[in-house]
Structure 1
Amino acid sequence: MTSEYAYDAVVIGGGQSGLAAAHHLTGQGLNTAIVEASEEATGSWPRYYDSLTLFSPARYSALPGRRFPGDPDRYPHRDEVVDYLRSYAAGLDADIHTDTLVEAVSASDGEGFAVTTGSGAVFTAPRVIAATGSFGSPFLPALPGRDEFGGDILHASQYRDQGEFAGRRVVVVGAGNSAVQIAAELAEHAQVVLASRAAVKFVPQRPLGWDVHFWFALTGFDAAPLGRIVKAAPTQPVFDEGRYRAALAAGKPQRREMFTAFTPEGVVWPSGDRSAVDAVLYATGYRPHLPYLAGIGALTDTGAPQQRQGLSLTHPGLGFLGLEWQRTPSSNSLRGVGRDAAYLVRRLWPATARRQEHAR
């Protein structure tokens, strides 16, 4: 038997973006459901690598309405973020449906949306927010010879710790925070090369004694258009107190220009040199994970949402959260998603529409 649930708003995804959206929706008095595929509303955080540490202090890493506990100037670890999100979800006045995978969203003119799940349950609402992030769609650039490579190829989303790589020859691909952090960690136990198309760009973590996020807040860097300067750069900066810069300077890991092809035994460098390699780990980011919207024409041919600042260009009442550069440099981060959620809720559900809805 099919179960049907009617809500004012349905949020697909119970990670940081979905939780922030639910905070603002319920704050407007809207009956809200969060539909989350995993067993609890903590997003992809439990699946990140063990040593992951935020590069923003706790005071700048909170969702709206609830401070991050503990020393506000420390840099929280992965498990602290998981605990924080778990507590945040428990404090929301929203119905959270876990272990519930969304398979499809359908739309009817003037009648809102129907969200169908793998169990057969259907959630209906006049407004839907897609907040499933990108962890489910890791990006691995295609290079010649990849299918013939005899070693391991994996993405940073599959990396947990350095144990399985001890003593091996590893190439980490990327130049961002995760790539550098993973490569430096592995280099303590393995032979590691950090391969990237552009050199790593380091930014001091604490210029003039204050964390860089203090300066972001003071200058308004996180707000467009100032942040677009960074978006146009060939690589995103790596925040560092000196540890990672020193590691690269010492050759642990060694940094090389991106290889051009795979061989059965390893990789080919731009110089033509070849290296034997046991594993290649891509820290090359993600793409939006929105397969459930493919059937209604809300996505481009490449699976990207057709949206502007989180508002669907194809379906009134449909919104997106947690997209990289959705509105600002921090749109897909703990420190920025709350602002985007507030902006989106205001535009998806204007005050006049709320009054009309509740007057029925």
Structure 2
Amino acid sequence: MDRLDKKFINTIVVGGGQAGLATGYYLKRNGIDFVILDESESPGEVWSRRWDSLTLFTPSQYNGLPGYPFPSKRGTFPNKSEVANYLTQYVKRFTLPVRFGKKVIKVIPDTKYAFEVITNEDSFFCDNLVVATGSNQRPNFPGFKQLINPSVFSIHSSQYKNPSMVPPGDVLVVGAGSSGVQIAIDLAKTHKVFLSGKPTFKIPDFVFKYLGPVYWWFINNFINIKTPLGRKAKKSVLAGGAPLINVSMDDVHAAGVTHLSRVAGVDDSRLKFEDGSLRTFNSLVWATGFKPDFSWINMKQEFENGWPKTTRGVSTDVEGLFFVGMLFQFGLTSAILGGVGRDAKYICNQILERNQGLFTSSPQRKRTF
């Protein structure tokens, strides 16, 4: 197969969620020829699969992607259906070239172009590759999970939908971050619920109610990798999760949920807690977050704690490889709806600069599909 027979395009974006769509907005605005590949069948499908009562942790006015403010009323916290609908509208509004049902299986170097992107159906070739698969890639479990009695009902928070799917009896939600707290309160409507773990920091409600614009400006401009405060915050976020917003441990107690210390392991089929107590439960919901999975990138890309080594999303090892939507990629808001646009714009500018160099050394390559 010679070059003209290959499906070539200047830039490929892997992932059609918020990070990929924000990147697509800037690529299209700057006249860069690109396509977005996504394994889902429709925009927002990932959001539609989350638990039924899920709401965003930030008010609607801070949830807009570039060029299109979130349409819900200011001060409200959108639910998962509103987010899914918003992403669908976003694709249509800007006629973004998203190819759904394209699961990227592997990316390898190419001798003529920079990358070959192999999907479940075919292959594509490109000079620039943007990985926008987000921060929620693979469910994370503690190592001792495999020692728990298999008769205990056990699911990750990404599998949870509503209380009806959980068998009767005592339920332990492991992990007291935002997701764990929301799920525990939801389950308490029908079950006796326990929540284990140290809660993440709670941002007081009055901050968003009365100081919202100032607070948003502050975390966008100061809580990033360029400031000492931001670098300290990054370590905390990567280790313990995002702060509690619009929900608190007071809400947990009001719902009748019992708060327990952190789960430390398993002792004779019983869960062992840091305070030394031993307990058994009928069901477990693991709100223990996610871990990155870039195993499909078959190139000399270095990783640290599972995350690629980059300079603000630009690979330090592979020329033409970029990332958008990673946890704390540049700042606290890098992985959320209202903050991902800043990183997407930066990466687009890097692609523009790279293309100028490519087009200077050789004629501009045209897409072949």
TM-score by length of 1: 0.89
The one-character-per-residue Cα deviations of 1:63-112 (angstroms, maximum 9, x if unpaired) are 10111113132111110000000111123344221111111111136731
Unaligned stretches of 5+ residues in structure 1? none
* 1:20-169 equivalences in 2 (<5 Å): 20-42=22-44, 44-108=46-110, 111-119=113-121, 121-143=122-144, 146-165=147-166, 167-169=168-170
Q: Of residues 271, 276, 281 in structure 2, which corresponds to 1:277?
A: 281
Q: Distance in 2 between matches of 1:278 and 1:264?
A: 16
**What's the secondary structure of 2:189's corresponding residue?**
coil
In the other structure, the counterpart of 2:340 is 337
For the pair 1:239 / 2:244, whether they are aligned, the reply is yes
Alpha-carbon deviation of 1:113? Answer: 1.0
The whole-number CA distance in structure 2 between the counterparts of 1:148 and 1:257 is: 21
Distance (Å, rounded) in 2 between the aligned partners of 1:64 and 1:162 = 36
Per mean C-alpha deviation after superposition, the further-off stretch among 330-339 and 67-76 is: 67-76
Residue of structure 1 in register with 2:174 after alignment: 173
Structure 2 stretches of 5 or more lacking a match? Answer: none
Matched, 1:257 2:258: no
Q: Aligned equivalents of 1:86 and 1:70: distance in 2? A: 15
User: C-alpha displacement at 1:123, in angstroms?
Assistant: 1.3
Give the SS at the match of 2:91: helix
Indicate the residue corresponding to 2:187 in structure 1: 186
Instruction: Decide whether the 8 Å contact of 1:181 with 1:244 is kept in 2.
Output: no
Give, in angstroms, the shift of residue 263 of structure 1.
Answer: 5.2
Give distance in 2, aligned partners of 1:208 and 1:81.
20
Higher mean alpha-carbon deviation, 210-219 vs 280-289, is at: 210-219
Go from structure 1 to structure 2 and tell me whether the alpha carbon gap of 1:164 and 1:232 turns closer, same or farther (over 3 Å shift).
same
- Cα pair 2:208 2:215 within 8 Å, conserved: no
2:25·2:66 contact (CA, 8 Å) conserved in 1?
yes
Instruction: Using the TM superposition, name which of 73-82 and 301-310 deviates more.
Output: 301-310
| Distance in structure 1 (CA, Å) of the matches to 2:51 and 2:334 | 22
Give the 3-state SS of the residue equivalent to 2:195 in structure 1.
Answer: strand
RMSD: 2.7
Once residues 160 and 199 of structure 1 are traced to their aligned partners in structure 2, the CA distance between those partners, rounded to angstroms, is 22
% identical aligned pairs: 27
Q: Cα gap change, 1:94/1:5 in structure 2, threshold over 3 Å: closer, same or farther?
A: farther
Corresponding residue SS for 1:126 = strand
Structure 2 residue aligned with 1:292: 296
C-alpha distance in 2 between matches for 1:252 and 1:55: 22
Q: In structure 1, what is the Cα distance between the partners aligned to 2:203 and 2:91? A: 33
Letter in 2 for 1:321: V
Inter-partner Cα distance in structure 1 for 2:43 and 2:179: 23
Shift of 1:8: 1.3
Q: Distance in 2 between matches of 1:236 and 1:14?
A: 24
CA, structure 1 residues 4+72, in 2 after alignment: closer, same or farther (shift >3 Å)?
farther
Residue 203 of structure 2 corresponds to residue 203 of structure 1? yes
Q: Contact 1:133/1:289 (CA < 8 Å) preserved in 2?
A: no
Deviations 1:120-151 (A, max 9, x none): x2111100001112434111111276254530
Residue in structure 1 matched with residue 319 of structure 2 by the alignment: 316
Aligned length: 355
Tell me which amino acid in the other structure corresponds to 2:18.
Q
1:345 maps to a residue whose letter is C
**What amino acid does structure 2 have at the position aligned with 1:239?**
L
Task: Indicate conservation of the 8 Å contact 2:68/2:90, yes or no.
Answer: yes
Match of 2:331 in 1: 328
Higher RCO (C-alpha under 8 Å, 6+ residues apart): 2
Is the CA contact 2:135–2:335 (under 8 Å) kept in the aligned structure 1? Answer: no
Deviation at 1:43, TM superposition (A): 5.6
Instruction: Indicate the larger mover: 142-151 or 326-335.
Output: 142-151
CA contact (8 A) 2:153 2:167 kept: no
Q: Does the CA contact (< 8 Å) of 1:132 and 1:290 recur in 2?
A: no
